[in-house]
Structure 1
């Protein structure tokens, strides 16, 4: 397509530099969306309640994973519950008579000093039992946590009935009692050892605040722990995050932040990424620019023909001629754009009276072998178009 300017005419130039008004018009929707998301994040941050990090099976934790409800039930029955987070603290409590050791932290599973403490002990979900429960073997694979029947003679389990339990699967030494069967072992094993009773459970989910009211979970927990006058509840020590900056009274900067700040920052990052993707894929307005040279359509055709001749691209030139002829005569024959070859050849033969084989060879035959053949093909195709136009 050529653009021709008459003498004396000039084409008005249009600046492509964005103005402040155009920038605001194109970006005001994004700014409004960002302000709405920011306002929502601020409101959620200000109105959300304080939520600390949950500590599974911690007697001081009120979250769903904690066990403060069980600790309160034990205290209501007159059992003293002492929360400790070190072997030294547990050893200091072990000097008191009629005290049971509850180990819910796998952190201390291989500590020989803990294994030497006297009294009954209950170990929860520990993968290593060589020190704390000699003779008990942890089978590979484990089991899914669900409600299970005890199917044993242990009074604490038979009185509780079905319990939500699973996790590790154990086998015990001779003389042990296995409850809640799972595969080739049990989720609970209890046996006498060194004048005391050692009990191992596959998981402590039934002791959590979430599961305690279900099935016989509370009954089993109280039956296992409420036989002593006091329980030493050993939990994992609180580990400060590496690199935390100390704040007032030993608190880190992250402890002083509202819990909704990370969520708000995450939402802001997602918003920026979506905005960048949206704006980055958008095209700008069409810009009219003056052509440096006016090129006639005939010159373009001649130039392409010279290129075909220089490269001896007879097949390419023949294909272009044939494709152009087919595109122009097909609508005149009353055929659609998806017409098959035989339909086009048959319609041309009827309209022009030419031999169908000659028409098919001209439109879909092999490429000419020389320039004379290409010129003859062009003339024959032109004759077909003229005949179709006349009829």
Structure 2
């Protein structure tokens, strides 16, 4: 169906919507977010938002639909909790009913910089600022003719104000992140933390890329003047973004990559950096990104009179975040690809001093 202010999402079961905002650019999303009191404009241009009681991901509320096409290929357990197709359909139907007579925002982007392996993804959100997050984090399609005919392979529907009923829906709380690999759909509710959108898409790529002979990796990547690619693996907060934005090297990507027969490629179009106690002296490039128009700052303290930031304030959470397009950084690989890595570094963040600073 044609994409209009009222139509185009019927294939997802979304009907009778008050309005659909297709592909809004950054300034328009700022206007909508501020008009709806979703966030405030800070000094020099970032948009500061609050994510409520969830200031990080909710792994215990993440489920995969247990269905025949993927059941035997998933390692079920605490990380991959099963939910039945029937319960998914009931919850999905209620989510669609909840969105009737409401406005939604749609971004249509790609995940994966390599043209052979990239996947078109549609992100449908209740909040304007989360639509900006999708626009920042994924690879944009700028041709309106292509967007007009855009057909997604993955769809994410994020509805923070819609809550599950645990005893009815078979989940643990009002919050849910449910991935249906057969339908290639993710539904998210009960949480405003935007990192759930990014990680849900990465989970889908973790499943589908290996089927095409591509290793999906949670790591940052950069390259030197001689084309020597380095990968940095590590848990959140171990320094992947910091180390990969080396002033002597060029950034490929800061968090999620694929490794194919031709080399490595970024899965994203943006960065999602921790910014608590970020230093202008130690991390000048990321620091500057917190002062730019188009950047989203999650749970960062701001003086409401002067609108100046306090990156040292952890009163809301230690997990303060900045989402910005990778083009905010001065030294990047524009096409998001690199050769085969010559160095692979594992960041341990060893708090007990058991390991030496650098170990081979």
- Which is greater in Rg? 1
Q: Which has the higher helix share?
A: 1
Q: Give TM-score scaled by structure 2 length.
A: 0.21
Q: Which has the higher strand share?
A: 2
